[in-house]
Structure 1
Amino acid sequence: MPAELARRRVLALLAASAATPVRGQGFAGLGQEAGGFAMPRPDPAFRFPRDHGPHPQFRIEWWYVTANLKTAAGADRGIQWTLFRSALAPQERPGWASPQIWFAHAAMTGPEAHLVAERRARGGIGQAGVTPAPFAAWIDDWQMTGHPGADALDRLSLRAAGRDWSYELSLAAAGPLVLHGQGGYSLKHPRGQASYYYSQPGYRVTGRLGWPGGAEEVTGLAWLDREWSSQPLDADQTGWDWFSLHLDGGDRLMVYRLRDGGAGHVPGTWISPDGRAEAIADGAIELAPLDWTRIGERRLPTSWRIRIPSRGLQIETRPVNAHAWMGTGIPYWEGPVRVTGSRSGIGYLEMTGHD
């Protein structure tokens, strides 16, 4: 494809994405057809730090950080920082001919406000990208960077800003990376749709928020997700509800439900305080909505009950701000939650595809 034609195609796609929200599956819909891209296979052999970088032979990929924070006065705050890569074709090309589309979402949330910003970029010209060593992920002046001497994702600096708000945070990992599913191969459907999926769930956070009412010093916990695929969902799956939870005593839990009009696909990962991970099979977790919130024309399940009988776990999650709607070009709900029940804690909830 000539470079000028590729440039025009990419710019047209970016303009269309800015004007027309994607419905149905949120950003999952970017990867419903594989279209010649590579597919995840069982028994992956990850190589780090290489795999912290991009995988252009796969269609979609993201670097995703959420953090539950407290101010010195005890106020709840949450932040999100996400960089997405979506490819138009599986063959990489230099410069304007690159098929890579980059977009990013950032948010800062408290009980009284949910602040959102979005960036878009194209590949091949340095405006956005990821390098594995030294680790750096960026789009314009939004940055997630590693520290000299640290092992790739062990220590990170994170920054983003919206119109009247900003944050600058330091993250220090207190445990190992966690591979989800079967050694990082995360099956999404019995017909074989899957992704490669791992996390760093154990960051301690310090830093400063530029909250609209003034600067705030904060501390807390963060969770980073890394995932890539080419066809993560089946045609009968309409979106997901995903939880990352920090429980009292140091345990952590990742659970998601892929909705299909029935019981859905509901796997998870239990992470012990020492970082050991145990996959929880589909069918072993009970996930049910408790309360709903009306946001515009949408009605979303913003409070949930999670039961894992094998762990004696029965908890409820409640949002810090029930109106944490990401009104971005690809819309979804994402915000911090509080946990009560047989265990207390904090965490994040993401919901896509609730039209």
Structure 2
Amino acid sequence: MSKVLLGDVAHEHKETCKGSKDGYPIVGLEHLIPEEITLTTWDEGSENTFTKMFRKGNVLFGRRRAYLKKAAVAPFDGICSGDITVIEADPDKILPDLLPFIIQNDDLFDFAVGKSAGSLSPRVKWEHLKNYEFELPDMDKQKELAELLWAIDDTKKSYQELIAATDELVKSQFMEQFKELINHPDACSKIEDECTVFADGDWIESKDQSEEGIRLIQTGNIGNAQYLDKGERARYITEDTFDRLNCTEVKANDILISRLPDPVGRACIVPEGLGKCITAVDCTIVRLGSRILPEYFIAYTLSPFYMMQVASRETGSTRKRISRKNLGILKIPVPTIAEQETFASVVRQSDKSKFEMEQALSELTATYKRIITENLG
């Protein structure tokens, strides 16, 4: 095993599309999913100004905002954004199947962040990225590592598919169980008629934040049907700031709805045990009335019935959002509490299965990262 620089074993693939772009898939930064090594989305036939070519097997590295950890293997030839650095292995020096794991690892991303320039939209250049140093084993060991890491990646994807299938099951169950109400919107209530819809949280400036005190929940804490803790990056305000801004306190079992992507209108239940909390701007608090259960409301926000309503009431051209007023007038079917309770039991069982799969996925990801660190650090 020897120490090498990335530029010793790989190079930037520089190729420009000079002819027709017809037939080439188009990849932008938005198609690279953080910490996912496989490219799964792209555009076809869309109007664009991209001219940078990539070839099957190249690694597409998101050089803008490297802290987002975007890098994936190209499964085909195509055209990509100028904010993507195309990296090609030198096969006589490194196994091409191993290169993606060297690039898609926390240590390299940390290095890239440190070499990035620009305040609003920092970018890293290949001339800096190529100086990343790491341990490279001999070819036999490289092949062994590549086979192991790709097998782990396949298993991770299987877990992700099962988790997605669990969510789809809840959605389909909701649409099936409450189809009679959904098919008759006039029989549905407005959210604002069944719940208290509070104004958005205040814009909390950095000078108002503190190291401890009242937790500030932000749009980044609102996952799709789940609260994302992000405790290591939690922000707070003092009691004095709470009183001065006349903030609304968030309570356990409130629903938080993000008015911003991705996607607009995603929601979560505020869990027990957070202590005193408030929300930031673009988070709307929905306090449920006596006729709606929290698990039912969250399943409703995952349904096509809800999502179509949100889409029809979004505003903005470059960045979509939905106003608090438009959220309040969305229609929600309100079955009996007994019917909701029956449905909620299905949701709880699904959540339990999903949690177990997410735990297994988390452990597998930790093993995956440890193998990369120990062998390619």
TM-score with structure 2 length normalisation?
Answer: 0.25
Structure number with higher helix proportion: 2
TM-score with structure 1 length normalisation?
Answer: 0.26
